[in-house]
Amino acid sequence: MYDQDRAVIERILGGDKKAYAELVERHKDKAMTLALKMLKNRQDAEEALQDAFVRVFNALPRFEWKSSFSTWFYRIVYNVCASELGKRNEPHQVSIQEDNEDAQAVELASDDTPPDVALESSELNAIILKEIDRLPDAYGPTFALFFVQDMSYDEIVEVTGLPLGTVKARLFRARMLLRNAVVKRIGNIDGSKQEKVA
């Protein structure tokens, strides 16, 4: 991906501006996932993403390859979406309480024994995807960057500008919320199945 991006960017900077369509095509869907996680509205997300792509194009000559293109690109997408949230008076605030992930562990870790999970189960798949969509606004973007964009903690810090502790705490809380919700849902499914058998 890195090399492919670099080759296309070199073509664009060499004057082949139509090559930018390749870059847009390659990144639009994953970037859309991030934008939608932040803005929660498809039309707003698409407009913000369009704006971000135009900004990226204009800023390409100044890109110095200090980070990967995707990290730089997602930082612009994230900033455009955060700015849009700011216009709605819904800023992405950083909470000091989030910085201590161990404190959250006590609060969130459930004592119940998780049920057996069949990894290929389509039912489990649907439950997890639904619960991912229901994650609180503050955790969705970090979760998407980690799992969908496959970024490291450091890259997420670079994209979001959040402190490392906050990034770790948000991911930790998101995963625990997801885990608890899934355990609850699977437990309910198992319970209803047992009731039907009885």
Partner 1 sequence: MTHLTTKQILQFTDGALDYASQAQCTQHLAVCERCRKEIDLQKAISKIARHQPPIQATSGFVQRVMAHIIPQQQKSWKTKLIDSLGNVFAMAMVLAILGYAISNPSLFQIQQQSKTQSFIPQSVSDTYAKFIQSVGQQAGEATQQVMKSTGRDNSNMISLTILSLLILGALDQFVLKRYLGMRMKH
Binding-site ranges for partner 1 (CB under 8 A): 17-18, 20-21, 24-25, 28-30, 32-33, 36, 46, 49-50, 53-54, 57-58, 101-102, 105, 108-109, 113-117, 119, 124-125, 128-129, 132, 143, 147-148, 150, 172, 175-176, 178-179, 182-183
CA distances from 134 to 33, 96, 99, 131 (A): 14, 23, 22, 5
Tell me the closest approach of the beta carbon of residue 66 to partner 1, in angstroms: 24
- The distance of Cα 159 from the centroid of its chain, to the nearest Å, equals 11
Tokens of 187: 């437990």
**3-state secondary structure string, 174-188?**
HHHHHHHHHHHHHHH
Tell me the closest approach of the beta carbon of residue 46 to partner 1, in angstroms: 6
Runs of H (alpha helix) within 14-121: 20-39, 42-59, 69-87, 101-108
C-alpha to C-alpha distance for 94 and 96, rounded to whole angstroms = 6
Nearer to partner 1, 58 or 93 (CB): 58
Nearer to partner 1, 7 or 129 (CB): 129
Residue type, 71: T
Nearer to partner 1, 91 or 190 (CB): 190
Residue spans of beta strands (DSSP E) within 109-148:
none
Nearer to partner 1, 118 or 198 (CB): 118
CB-CB contact of 145 with 74 (8 Å): yes
Tell me the closest approach of the beta carbon of residue 194 to partner 1, in angstroms: 18
Tell me the closest approach of the beta carbon of residue 6 to partner 1, in angstroms: 19
Torsion of CA 25, 29, 30, 31, to 10 degrees: 80
Nearer to partner 1, 82 or 178 (CB): 178
User: What three-state secondary structure class fits 162?
Assistant: coil
Tell me the closest approach of the beta carbon of residue 83 to partner 1, in angstroms: 18
Tell me the closest approach of the beta carbon of residue 78 to partner 1, in angstroms: 16
Nearer to partner 1, 91 or 134 (CB): 134
